[in-house]
Amino acid sequence: MCGIVGIFDPRGEQAIERVVLHAMNERQHHRGPDEGDLHIETGVGLGHRRLSVIDLSTGQQPLFNEDNSVVIVFNGEIYNFRELMAELVGLGHVFRTHSDTEAIVHAWEEWGEASVSRLRGMFAFAIWDRNSKTFFVARDRLGIKPFYYAQTTDGSFIFGSELKALLAHPMLPRTIDPCAVEEYFAYGYVPEPRTIYQGVFKLEPGHTLTLRVGASMASPKPYWDVPFLPLGTLTEADAASELNERLREAVQSHMVADVPLGAFLSGGVDSSAIVATMAGLTQEPVNTCSIAFNDPAYDESAYAAQVATQYKTRHHSETVDKDDYALLDTLADLYDEPYADSSAIPTYRVCQLARQRVTVALSGDGGDENFAGYRRHRLAMAEQRVRSAMPLALRKPLFGVLGKIYPKADRAPRFLRAKTTFEALSRDLVDGYFHGVSVMPDRVRHRLFSTAFRASLQGYGAAEVMRRHASAAPTDDPLSLIQYLDMKTWLPGDILTKVDRASMAHALEVRVPLLDHQLVEWISGLPSSLKLRGQEGKYIFKKALEPQLSHDILYRDKMGFSIPLASWFRGPLRQRVREALLGPVMADSGIFDMGFVTEMVEQHQSGRRDYSAPIWMLLMFEAFLRKETA
């Protein structure tokens, strides 16, 4: 696991400034504290920071082929590199190392752009081929590893594993993108391919970008997508059996390392499945780590301990205060752009704990997206059943009116909180799902933004992100469609970003076997009825795991990393909220209607409304603005 940076002059004539490339590389020192190096030639500069995991003695980067005509910088792990090496040696290629990085170099020589489809793993890399004057970059299929890029004012193409690396370049414009702000306050993160800055992008998952000397700037191209291709007739028993076999194979492939390896263990279904599978693949006790909270309402460490005891793991647990809000400013530095998933706090802590004992940790991320495990999946399907029974011409006026007149009832019993449901039912599936997952729905964002800022959006709305993906979806099955939307937005933009930054802040590599692309492809083809059965999400996954995990682990209510934001903002962070949200940084930005911001703060702190999620988003945005103006 590493950090990569680079500068490419499409004209092929510019001298690369070593001091600039070095500054970009060192901004990511935390991603690779073991080693770092640069390669510079006319028109090309590549930098690398290394966290040594495989081939500790000879895997240094930038790495070249035999005649130094091809050079690569690579972040990630290729799990089938040994098979690739054997195939490439058979084709006449000569290897000087035992690293997965060199396998990519020779794969490029043999198969060119098509080589990326031969790779199984998590990756982001850049290759410079001097003979063909080609600069090629790629990102893994699900977006596990990040890749940021931009064009500077002098025409250079620059890239890095984190946005902070690009910000070290003196010729990078830093203009905030109004559309990205609109997206952030809808989703809680800025979805691919945007970043918070105009002209700075994330390479989307499953995409490559090929640049050539003397050619104009090209656009990224997709090389993979989640297929959702039906598997055909498959009994429930056969599906459960094959799922276990495929999970075992994926986990085994992810356990290859030359350094200490372990796993996160929350006590939930996904992490418990990973640990149970690991335990069956090794004679040594699995190293497991979990975070406990000092408040029983937020603590599920007893379930983690149950699994640890069952599988005799070498378990480490650390209790943190549920009021662990000291990381607020750390998060702003970590994520570089506004990011509002508050579970980043306990994620940071569990990575911190894990790194004390291991260099690589396996995680259960991806289970909810693969198997429809979120509550919002159940709600969306319930809403869709109503839509199917009533034509849009009738639904839109009926539920549209009800949504407008029904009061917002944050503190009422759940069955009385119908406003959001009515609003969703007045829309089609995609817009309704967007409305359901929005942290701040359209009506709130409309009030949040100033008149001038709304005008700068020129009618753009964050729902366009989901509409764009839905238009390219390979399925029209309702559940599969919203899973597809999650895999294109929430998974890379929130979940994987959270884990990557929190882990790399501690030089910890996190691997996600449930997002092995071969496993994802197979799961996507399962019937929706095997994923969501009535009110039971992850149906077939849980059935497959019944011989290995207890009923309490598999069928208890989902908790996740909960944070008591509402009480924080009325208690220990009360004054900080007022100073930050009602202070000059927010007011001077021109983005917000400060009257409405004041109203939100007052109503939340008085207990009349629960605006905890919007207030957290605003706090994170204010921290970002403060860094910008510092």
- How many angstroms from the chain centroid is the CA of residue 97? 31
Q: For residue 233, give the amino acid letter.
A: T
Give CA separation, 401 vs 242, 443, 605, in Å.
48, 14, 30
Identify which of 553, 623, 113 has the alpha carbon closest to the alpha carbon of residue 308: 553
Strands of the sheet containing 261-264, edge to edge, are 314-320, 287-293, 261-264, 360-362, 509-511
- My answer on whether omega of the bond before 547 falls inside 30° of 0, hence cis, is no
For this structure, is 2 an active site residue? yes
Identify which of 182, 157, 164 has the alpha carbon closest to the alpha carbon of residue 46: 157
Which helix (H) or strand (E) segment holds residue 201: the answer is: strand 200-202
- Check if the beta carbon of residue 345 is closer than 8 Å to that of residue 331: yes
Which helix (H) or strand (E) segment holds residue 392: the answer is: helix 392-405
CA pair distance 343, 620, nearest whole angstrom: 13
- Check if the beta carbon of residue 337 is closer than 8 Å to that of residue 163: yes
**Hey, which bits of 109-182 come out as E strands?**
121-129, 134-139, 148-151, 157-160
With a CB cutoff of 8 Å and minimum separation 6, the contacts of 154 are 14, 171
Which helix (H) or strand (E) segment holds residue 263: the answer is: strand 261-264
Q: Which of 2, 179, 289, 351 is catalytic?
A: 2
Identify which of 349, 271, 351, 265 has the alpha carbon closest to the alpha carbon of residue 305: 265
CA pair distance 534, 385, nearest whole angstrom: 12
With a CB cutoff of 8 Å and minimum separation 6, the contacts of 541 are 243, 269, 273, 367, 370, 371, 373
Instruction: List the catalytic residues.
Output: 2
